Amino acid sequence: MRKIYTLLIAFLITTGGGGVPYAHAELTAAHKDQLTKLNYMLSVDRLDFYSDGLADYLMEHNQAKAAEAIRQIRPEEYAAQNYVMQDLNNTDKWNELILSMLHKKFPEFKNLTLKDIEWNYNFFRKKLMEGFKADEIALKKEASISDISSHKVSFAKRSIPNVDGKAILLDSERYISEKTTRALFWDAAVSGKSIEFHMGTERDFRQRISQEDREVIAEIKTRAANYNKMYLVHDPRTNEYSYAITRISGDDRVKHLIAQLRILKYDSKVPLKNDFVRVYGNANQVHRDQEARLLELFKTVPKADVVVIGQKSAISNVITMAGMMAQMQPDLRSEVVADKTQISKLAQTVKESGSYFSVTTKASVVKSEFEKVTNPLAGNYEVYTSEQPSHDISDVLLETKDGKIVRWRFISNMWGDEVVPVARALRNSGHEKVVYIGTAGGLVGKGLKVGDVVSPSKTYTQAGKLFDLEAPTYGKDFVKTGMTLGQVTSPFDETKTWFNKWSNKIDLVELETGYLKENLGPRVSFQPYLLVSDVVGSEHESLAVAASDSGKRKNGQMKLLESLFMQSGIKAPVGNMDMISAELAVQRMYYKIDVLRPSRDITSKAQLTQLALRKGLSTDAELEALIKAEPAFDRQLLMDKLEKFSGATDLLAQKIKQVNFAIVGSDEFMNGTWNAKKALSLKLMIGTMTAADAESVYAKELAQIKQTMGKDLQIEVVDFDAEKSRGALRFNAGSKRVLAAHYENKILKKLGLTKEIDKNGGVRFREITETTGGMRCEAVML
């Protein structure tokens, strides 16, 4: 397989999160009591959710009456039995608990035995045990929060829509149980806790909590691990407990989550402490920030030949499978042994098609056979990955049948208007081809069934605009066409009234395509393909039922992915990447330090590397002396301090809007040799003033900085000097995060890195393998 030599800073290849933001909490007796009650509710929710799956099974195995009876048992009735947690957490006991309730509520089933309701689906029970629980944690207080940059945490009061759960065309309780768990809402209904919603990143949530001096007690783990993070929060000032739902990146998601407050009841109580809820953050601002981050990213890495949004995990498995197949039959020109084994038949298919992706639908066979291969090559083909608040991005290099190398970018599915900043960033960075693979509900009576693949010819937007869509390129032999797609913000919008209004206008419905088409604009080739996940209005193919078993649409998904790669002429993923450094002296020095101190954080080792090169050090003894003189630090501390110190520059800049500032002579900070464990010294010019005049005008602000920062940040105001100001770091009232932004946009990029805040709020650095327009050839010594 072809080797690609990419000019890359090899010594900075290490990635990973920063400081661990959470740890086990030291629980008070009151906290433990809250957690015990919550975990009991979660266990009851899990048992009830399992009982629905059991009822589905019994319905298909000649126990329809028992199945209907099980469905009539309410969660409150399970909860009233005061089960011991040991039984609720024992999967072998679940059928016994359900049978006992059947005997109590329905005497006609007194002769029903465990054998009659036997269901040996251990995998399902095991997966349920991974969710429906609350784990105690302690929130790490944000170091970037200080008196100088703190401000009142604001929130919007959002009214709660009057949603009638009975009018929704799906089993909403079952759906909610899987996605967010009902237990959180049940406990809020019983205890009077408020439920609040946080837009933005995990770090945004942590900063708000830190500024309000609140504490996180526990994280609620759901069955759907990719859903929004949810926490039990305590305010020691008022002794109030509340639930926080976080990592929300769009207003559609807010509406969807808030609707659950009306839908769910427990003992006839709804989880509404007031007639409104608190929503922290603003969707428009979240979108602007996300678009700016993505636009910078897309302009930094090379432009992708094709962008595929959706089904990222399945596509990653297919690419890995193709790589496995290539290692079992690497030479497409070789003769295939004529035997009757499955892998031999697949190898023959590969030879005839010229592509390892021609056996995508047989991925399970390939994986099984690959396990027999000795000394396999590495199976990770991602050359760049990025974790964003609402989605993940990965770049993969692929080889075509004619030997050309192309770059494809894969982006995971998002919810509703979360796709808006993604679409705009793709459009504004010059991307020309986008394929979207989502899921949709087919309307009953339209001839659609679960597993069908549809390429709609028209789509409505949320605002009611109707757009024409491109004809499909892929899967023409099985993809259904000529249909019109409707848009909703949530499956909870799909009521009987909604159905009567739209059933004559549309054939299927989902959340994202209209946003994508409108925001990508007419210049971008855009083709949506939708996997039918449920049939809206159908009792037996509802979204709640389909959510627990996605197997029905797997076949259509695999056929579509096979067509996607085959019709694009893709032969194989490109692996065994050979990486070389643009600056061998830096690489060698980094490796020397890495050998001496492998446990140090990447940022600390990079700082030592720059210092050693500037000082002309070479021997182990010299490097040892330098390492001992420089305290170790990690990336989280570094970025937290820069965020905190940026609050000081912001305080000065906001006093008089028209004044320009310049940081001069602060060599350690400017060239990346500053140690985050030491004080940061900055020399600052303020406008065109002398030092004396500037200190007089900004006396109050400088005193506040000194009082707040202490010795950590030392600012020396110097006389204006036009010559020195030319190479300075400039900022004014319109600048944001001055010091942190300089480190990210100048120092990190020259080191071949880009900074990210991961989904847990930790800092990590990703390597930039190439830059727009070709390979990197920058020196890394600043």
Q: Would residue 91 count as lying in a domain? A: yes
The residue that leads in pLDDT, 332 or 360, is: 360
Residue 720 identity (one-letter amino acid): F
Last residue of a domain, one of 247, 281, 315: 281
Same domain, yes or no: 244 and 355: no
Q: Which domain holds residue 674?
A: 1-18+581-782
What pLDDT sits at residue 313?
Answer: 92
What pLDDT sits at residue 521?
Answer: 96
What pLDDT sits at residue 140?
Answer: 60
Contact, 752 vs 13, CB < 8 A? no
DSSP 742: H
What pLDDT sits at residue 539?
Answer: 65
Same domain, yes or no: 614 and 757: yes
Please report where in the chains the tokens 């807010």 appear, as a residue.
Answer: 254
Helix (H, G, I), strand (E, B) or coil at 498: helix
Q: Would residue 45 count as lying in a domain? A: yes
Q: What is the mean pLDDT of residues 170-178?
A: 91
CATH number at residue 551: 3.40.50.1580
Per residue in 664-692, pLDDT tens? Answer: 988 888 888 999 999 999 999 999 999 99
Residue 326 identity (one-letter amino acid): A
d(CA 251, CA 515): 13
Q: Would residue 136 count as lying in a domain? A: no
The residue that leads in pLDDT, 487 or 226, is: 487
Indicate whether 449 pLDDT > 70: yes
Helical axes 29-59 vs 172-179, angle rounded to 10°: 130
Contact, 508 vs 481, CB < 8 A? no
Indicate whether 617 pLDDT > 90: yes
Q: Which of 272, 291, 136, 249 is nearest to 192 (CA)?
A: 272
d(CA 363, CA 350): 13
Percentage of residues in the chain having pLDDT higher than 90: 63
Question: What would the two tokens of residue 610 be?
Answer: 């720059």
Q: Would residue 417 count as lying in a domain? A: yes
Same domain, yes or no: 653 and 549: no
d(CA 98, CA 105): 11
Same domain, yes or no: 67 and 104: yes
What pLDDT sits at residue 737?
Answer: 87
Percentage of residues in the chain having pLDDT higher than 70: 86
Q: What is the mean pLDDT of residues 640-651?
A: 89
Same domain, yes or no: 205 and 343: no
Same domain, yes or no: 48 and 157: no
Given pLDDT bands bounded at 50, 70 and 90, which one contains residue 1?
very low
Q: Would residue 135 count as lying in a domain? A: no
Structurally, the chain folds into a number of domains equal to 4
Residue 233 identity (one-letter amino acid): V
Q: Which of 775, 762, 773, 772 is nearest to 142 (CA)?
A: 762
Same domain, yes or no: 453 and 589: no
Question: What would the two tokens of residue 29 be?
Answer: 């007796």
H-type helices in 152-223, by residue range? 172-179, 183-191, 202-211
d(CA 535, CA 374): 46
Indicate whether 476 pLDDT > 80: yes
What pLDDT sits at residue 203?
Answer: 84
CA distances from 647 to 149, 285, 673, 739 (A): 5, 20, 21, 9
- Beta pairing partners, 164: none
Rounded to 10 degrees, what is the CA torsion of 521, 523, 525, 529? Answer: 10
Residue 33 identity (one-letter amino acid): D
Q: Would residue 51 count as lying in a domain? A: yes
Indicate whether 576 pLDDT > 60: no
Q: Would residue 551 count as lying in a domain? A: yes
Same domain, yes or no: 10 and 33: no
Same domain, yes or no: 350 and 474: yes
What pLDDT sits at residue 540?
Answer: 63
Per residue in 283-321, pLDDT tens? Answer: 999 999 999 989 988 988 889 999 999 999 999 999 999
Residue 710 identity (one-letter amino acid): G
Same domain, yes or no: 196 and 341: no
What pLDDT sits at residue 2?
Answer: 29
Q: Would residue 286 count as lying in a domain? A: no
Whole-number average pLDDT of the chain: 86
CA distances from 148 to 212, 514, 704 (A): 15, 44, 7
Q: Residue 218: enclosing H or E segment and its boundaries? A: strand 215-221
Last residue of a domain, one of 130, 164, 198: 130
The CB density around residue 671, as the number of other CB atoms within 10 Å, is 16
CA distances from 575 to 107, 347, 366, 775 (A): 64, 20, 18, 18
Indicate whether 749 pLDDT > 90: no
Same domain, yes or no: 179 and 251: yes
- Beta pairing partners, 232: 218, 243
CA distances from 462 to 324, 494, 512 (A): 43, 14, 9
Same domain, yes or no: 125 and 157: no
**How far does CA 658 lie from the centroid of its chain?**
40
d(CA 163, CA 657): 47
Question: What would the two tokens of residue 659 be?
Answer: 């004044």
Indicate whether 221 pLDDT > 80: yes
**Sign, Cα dihedral of 546, 551, 556, 561:** positive
> Maximum CA pair distance of the chain?
95
Q: Which of 581, 572, 580, 579 is nearest to 406 (CA)?
A: 572
Last residue of a domain, one of 244, 262, 281: 281
What pLDDT sits at residue 770?
Answer: 47
d(CA 494, CA 394): 33
